[in-house]
């Protein structure tokens, strides 16, 4: 059967058996019936559990009628005190049910970190696998328990890249289930992105099948072009699988990434140098052309009336402002926009690199706010909250605003002021040039402007001036729109990226789920900080208030 026509079926008995044995974890207003050690463990009733064990002599080392242990039920529902009591009174920490799942597997379903610590203190085998080859890391990835996965890997050394019986690693499962945060964490640890399972599928294949656009983006940014062209055993690439499954959004992302990565451009220079140069030379040449055209076709034109001192002053002032805008263009194009340097230089040949990465504990980072999107799987850093990895620049940029192809650079914390000034000077230059051109054309023609022949005369006798005015109008409209938009964002202390992707960032949502910008300190303060410092100081924000609600 072609992989495009097959389905992954997640087999985790912990989820199904908890439903078969009653609504043990729901908020049922009726008092639950606790008739044995298993139900007492599931509901976390330590007093009744002690009665069953100490008074009635019930065993905690035997399974129930379905083969499930009391310790498993306590682990599933995150009752650390119950788990500790069970272990102290004869419960086997490594006892497995009929599918060979242990209490640690069940703890992974709900991300029960406290219970896992109890289990580890009692000697649980972290690499225990069930009949499908699933270890605790696989179950955590299947259920998107990112914090639990981070805990058992960073603190207890679990193998985060282990394959199951079908050759699928936790990264395969997280990609298929669409858990982008879990994918980021695994890639942060250098999980193998190119590993193929028994059907020849990489994690990107499974992300394409499920249609998770966010996971596809994360995998594309952190990977190489090779993952985009890998074929499974049926001969399908990820983009072909996405198209075949009707995942239009994912197919579009993968298709664009395939083109951008240079697969259809074999020249290494075409893929590297030209991509890095961007459109800045085009804009630079266009602006110089406009200045030369203005001087030769508007200011120094013998067919127009002799230029007056006032008109000359305004005209040459416009040229001077244009020169200043060229300087600001150079600054915002060449200046570091706020690149965040990687803490570790990672290479595939660097022995012990994975161990070094695992030593980075987000909880010990001063900039960590509990948001897993702060992990950059490409740069291997914990980045500030408002930063973003730019796939074009291949760096994380602090206070990322956007990547501007026309300056061939990102706009971020360190060059946003230069970019805004460049836009303002560009608007002023276009305005002065346009006013001067209109005045010269209006007053310098022997044909009266009210005459129907005036437009024809200008087009035939002064095509340079007409061309300048048309191009200047287009330039002024574009520059004005960008300037107004950026000025509005500066006044509210929000970036272009945050405006476009507000729904993706939890720190931009209040407790009620509505949009809330915690960085907005008021229009006057926002503008003052930006104009004086060039950026706003995010350290003044109360980071604890940005923590996402616990699940």
- Integer-rounded Cα Rg, in Å, for the chain is 32
Q: Which residues, in sequence order, are CB contacts of 231 under 8 Å at separation 6+?
A: 200, 237
Predicted local confidence at residue 46, as pLDDT: 93
CA 236 to chain centre: 27
pLDDT of residue 294: 92
Q: Is residue 428 part of a domain?
A: yes
Would the pLDDT of 266 be above 70? no
| Residue 488 included in any domain | yes
Exposed (0-12), middle (13-18) or buried (19+): which is 109, by Cβ within 10 Å? buried
- Is residue 326 predicted with pLDDT exceeding 70? yes
Neighbour-count burial of 268, counting CB atoms closer than 10 A to its CB (0-12 exposed, 13-18 middle, 19+ buried):
exposed
For range 120-144, the mean pLDDT? 96
State how far the alpha carbon of 320 is from the alpha carbons of 327, 417, 440, in Å: 11, 20, 19
pLDDT tens digit sequence for 386-396: 899 998 888 89
Residue 483 lies in a domain: yes
- Over 60: is that where the pLDDT of 203 sits? yes
Structure tokens at 157: 């050394």
d(CA 228, CA 194): 10
Task: Using a cut of 0.85, tell me whether the model's pTM lies above it.
Answer: no
Give the number of domains in the chain: 1
Does residue 154 lie in a domain region? no
Tokens of 102: 């242990």
> Which range has the worst mean pLDDT, 82-91, 239-248, 425-434, 442-451?
442-451
409 domain residue, yes or no: no
| Range of the structural domain that residue 423 is part of | 280-336+414-501
The answer to whether position 27 is within a domain reads no
> Which pair of tokens denotes residue 403?
């990547």
Neighbours of 349 (CB within 10 A): 5
| pLDDT-based confidence at residue 453 (cuts at 50, 70, 90) | low
Contact 392, 280 (CB under 8 A): no
Catalytic site residue from 216, 390, 404, 410: 404
- Average pLDDT, stretch 122-145? 96
Handedness of CA 225, 218, 270, 236 (dihedral sign): positive
Q: Which residue has the higher pLDDT, 114 or 257?
A: 114
Half-sphere exposure (CA, 13 Å, Cβ side) for 263? 15
Query: Closest Cα partner for 130 from 98, 168, 162, 172?
Result: 98
Query: What does the alpha-carbon distance between residue 117 and residue 100 come to, in Å, rounded to a whole number?
Result: 21
In the residue annotation, 404 being an active-site residue is answered as yes
DSSP assignment of 124-135 equals --TT---TT---
Q: Distance from first CA to last CA of the chain, Å, rounded?
A: 39
Q: Which residue has the higher pLDDT, 9 or 87?
A: 87
Band (444; pLDDT cuts 50, 70, 90)? low
Model pLDDT, residue 270: 46
Angle at 41 between CA 38 and CA 47, to 5 degrees: 115
From residue 344, alpha-carbon distances to 20, 93, 358, 381, 452 in Å are 48, 38, 12, 8, 71
Which of 150, 53, 208 is closest to 368 using CA atoms?
Answer: 150
Per-residue model confidence (pLDDT) at position 507: 85
Among 291, 225, 272, 217, residue whose Cα is nearest residue 249:
217
- The predicted pLDDT at position 38 comes to 94
Q: At what angle do helices 103-110 and 113-121 cross, to 10 degrees?
A: 160
pLDDT per residue over 426-440, tens digit each?
Answer: 999 999 999 998 888
Cα(358)–Cα(343) distance, integer angstroms: 13
Q: Quick check: 2 pLDDT over 60?
A: no
Region 205-229: mean pLDDT is: 91
DSSP class of residue 53 equals: I
Q: If residue 395 lies in a helix (H) or strand (E), which one and from where to where? A: strand 395-397
pLDDT number for residue 448 = 63
The torsion angles phi and psi of 388, rounded to 5 degrees, stand at -155, 150
* Chain segment 234-254, per-residue pLDDT in tens: 999 999 999 999 999 999 999
Is residue 366 one of the residues assigned to a domain? no
> Taking a C-beta distance cutoff of 8 angstroms, is the pair 135, 162 a contact?
yes
The reply to whether 365 falls in a domain is no
């Amino acid at each position: 059967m072609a992989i495009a026509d097959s389905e992954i079926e997640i087999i985790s008995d912990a989820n199904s058996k908890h439903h078969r044995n009653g609504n043990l974890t729901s908020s049922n207003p009726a008092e639950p019936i606790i008739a044995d050690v298993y139900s007492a463990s599931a509901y976390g009733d330590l007093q009744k559990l002690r009665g069953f064990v100490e008074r009635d002599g019930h065993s905690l080392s035997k399974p129930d009628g379905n083969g499930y242990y009391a310790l498993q039920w306590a682990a599933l529902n995150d009752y650390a005190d119950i788990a500790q009591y069970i272990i102290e009174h004869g419960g086997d920490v490594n006892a497995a049910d009929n599918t060979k799942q242990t209490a640690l597997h069940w703890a992974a379903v709900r991300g029960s970190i406290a219970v896992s610590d109890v289990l580890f203190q009692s000697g649980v085998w972290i690499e225990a696998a069930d009949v499908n080859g699933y270890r605790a890391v696989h179950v955590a990835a299947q259920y998107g328990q990112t914090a639990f996965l981070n805990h058992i890997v960073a603190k207890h050394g679990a193998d985060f890249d282990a394959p199951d019986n079908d050759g699928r690693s936790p990264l395969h499962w997280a990609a298929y289930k669409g858990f982008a945060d879990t994918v980021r964490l695994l890639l942060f640890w250098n999980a193998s992105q190119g590993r193929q399972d028994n059907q020849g599928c990489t994690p990107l294949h499974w992300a394409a099948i499920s249609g998770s656009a966010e996971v596809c983006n994360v995998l594309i940014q952190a990977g190489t072009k090779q993952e985009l062209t890998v074929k499974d055993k049926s001969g399908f690439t990820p983009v072909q699988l996405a198209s075949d499954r009707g995942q239009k959004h994912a197919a579009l992302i993968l298709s664009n990434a395939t083109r951008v990565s240079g697969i259809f451009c074999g020249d290494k220079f075409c893929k590297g140098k030209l991509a890095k140069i961007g459109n800045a030379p085009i804009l630079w040449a266009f602006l110089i052309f406009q200045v030369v055209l203005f001087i030769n076709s508007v200011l120094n034109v013998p067919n127009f009336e002799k230029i007056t001192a006032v008109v000359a002053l305004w005209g040459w002032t416009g040229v001077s402002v244009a020169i200043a805008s060229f300087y600001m263009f150079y600054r915002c194009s060449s200046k570091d926009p706020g690149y965040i340097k990687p803490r570790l230089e990672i290479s595939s040949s660097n022995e012990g690199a994975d161990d070094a990465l695992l030593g980075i504990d987000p909880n010990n980072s001063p900039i960590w706010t509990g948001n897993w999107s702060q992990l950059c799987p490409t740069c291997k850093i914990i980045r500030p909250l408002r930063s973003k990895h730019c796939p074009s620049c291949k760096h994380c940029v602090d206070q990322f605003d956007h990547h501007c192809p026309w300056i061939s650079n990102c706009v971020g914390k360190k060059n946003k002021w230069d970019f805004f000034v460049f836009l303002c000077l560009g608007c002023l230059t276009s305005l002065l040039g346009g006013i001067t051109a209109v005045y010269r054309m209006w007053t310098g023609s022997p044909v009266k402007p009210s005459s129907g022949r005036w437009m024809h005369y200008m087009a035939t006798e002064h095509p340079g001036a007409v061309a300048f005015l048309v191009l200047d109008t287009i330039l002024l409209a574009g520059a004005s729109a960008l300037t107004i938009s950026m000025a509005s964002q500066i006044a509210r202390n929000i970036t272009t990226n945050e405006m476009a992707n507000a729904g993706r960032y939890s720190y931009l949502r209040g407790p009620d789920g509505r949009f809330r910008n915690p960085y907005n300190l008021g229009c006057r303060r926002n503008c003052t900080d930006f104009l004086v410092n060039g950026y706003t100081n995010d350290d003044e924000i109360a980071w604890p208030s940005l923590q996402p609600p616990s699940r």
